[in-house]
Amino acid sequence: MSRLIVLLILLLLAGYIIYRLRWLSVEQKKRYLKLAAITGGIALLVVLTLTGKLNWLLAGVGALLALLPKVARLLMGAWPRISPYFNRYQQNKHSSMQTQFIHLQVSLITGELQGEVLQGKHKGEKLQLMSLAQLLSLLDECREGDSASALLLASYLDRTHAGWSGDEAEEFKPSGADAEMGQQQARDILGVPASATKKDINKAHKRLMQKLHPDRGGSDYLAQQINQARDLLLKNVG
């Protein structure tokens, strides 16, 4: 019976944590999860101590420490073979898009969008920490100063504040004329290095479109930028 009560308490606690996380910013989520992990670790140690099972845990940790030197030697021997894959993973964690007003990063793992304001009265502020009213104020600045920034910010709003544009949705669809894009900009968008092969470029393009296709919560503008980056890079790969 006592185990059932403990299980119910844990389930309720987990449900509460998940509920709270829905309404927090990215930075707040990190702090919240760190606090939850520390609290959970302390609670686990208390339970193990009270139930007399702490010795088992200490024995397991001791065994792992004894194996640590062998595991370290094994990894060092294998590192030359696995490092290229690790480096490629590191290089392809984010897609980066930048305009006059906005620097936007897209996580290629989660599809989450984060950004920073580069100029104007909101300079230095993080998009994910700004209110809808602040974002719309920034959008007015972008409309006056740089249409590409307005389109990029509108894409961010489409993802984070569905239905924000109302009857103005058509205004934020890209025109048929593509803005000139450089090689480095294209690589930043797809998250690939200068040494990327055709296979790497197509793989990065597919991965990014799976996160940001208009049918998956992306936008026409983001899809246009991703396609343009792929076409440019493929054109210049031997």
Average pLDDT, the chain: 78
Last residue within a domain, chosen from 46, 68, 89 = 89
- Note the pLDDT tens digit of each residue in 146-164: 989 999 999 899 888 878 8
Same domain for 221 and 131:
yes
Name the one residue in this structure whose structure tokens are 């309404």: 23
- What one-character DSSP code corresponds to residue 202? H
Q: Of the residues 34, 55, 89, which one is the last residue of a structural domain?
A: 89
Same domain, residue pair 113 and 74: no
Contact between 89 and 207 under an 8 Å Cβ cutoff? The reply is no
The residue from 45, 69, 89 where one domain ends is 89
Instruction: Give residue 231's domain range.
Output: 93-235
Query: Are residues 103 and 199 both part of a single domain?
Result: yes
pTM above 0.75, yes or no: no
Structure-block tokens of residue 39:
């609290």
Are 44 and 147 part of one and the same domain? no
How many separate helices (H) and strands (E) can be counted in the chain?
A: 8, 3
As a whole-number percent, the residues of the chain with pLDDT over 70 amount to 63
Q: What amino acid occupies position 171?
A: E
Q: How far is CA 183 from CA 23, 36, 69, in A?
A: 38, 43, 45
User: Do residues 162 and 191 share a domain?
Assistant: yes
Q: What is the pLDDT of residue 219?
A: 80
Residues 53 and 97 in one domain: no
8 A C-beta contact, residue 13 and residue 21: no
Residue 89 in this model has a pLDDT that exceeds 50: no
Residue 128's closest CA among 159, 87, 163, 86? 159
Interacting residues of 201 by C-beta distance below 8 A, sequence separation 6+: 190, 192, 230, 233, 234, 237
- In 3-state terms the chain splits into helix, strand, coil percentages (rounded to 5) of 70, 5, 25
Write the DSSP symbol of residue 173. S
122 plus 138 within the same structural domain:
yes
Q: Answer yes or no: do 190 and 99 share one domain.
A: yes
pLDDT greater than 80 at residue 198: yes
Q: How many CB atoms lie within 10 A of CB 28?
A: 14
Residue 97 sits in the same domain as residue 204: yes
Distance CA 116, CA 122 (A): 9
In this structure, the answer to whether residues 70 and 108 fall within a common structural domain is: no
pLDDT at 85 over 60: no
Single-letter residue type at 147: S
Spatial separation of the C-alpha atoms in residues 220 and 155, rounded to whole Å: 8
- Gap between the Cα atoms of 231 and 49, Å rounded: 61
Mean pLDDT of 137-143: 93
If one counts the domains in the chain, the total is 2
Alpha-carbon gap, residue 26 to 19, rounded angstroms: 15
If asked whether residues 82 and 100 sit together in one domain, one would say no
Where residue 209 sits, what CATH number does that domain have?
1.10.287.110
- Give yes or no for a contact between 233 and 203, defined as CB atoms under 8 angstroms apart: no
Verify that 85 and 97 share a domain, yes or no.
no
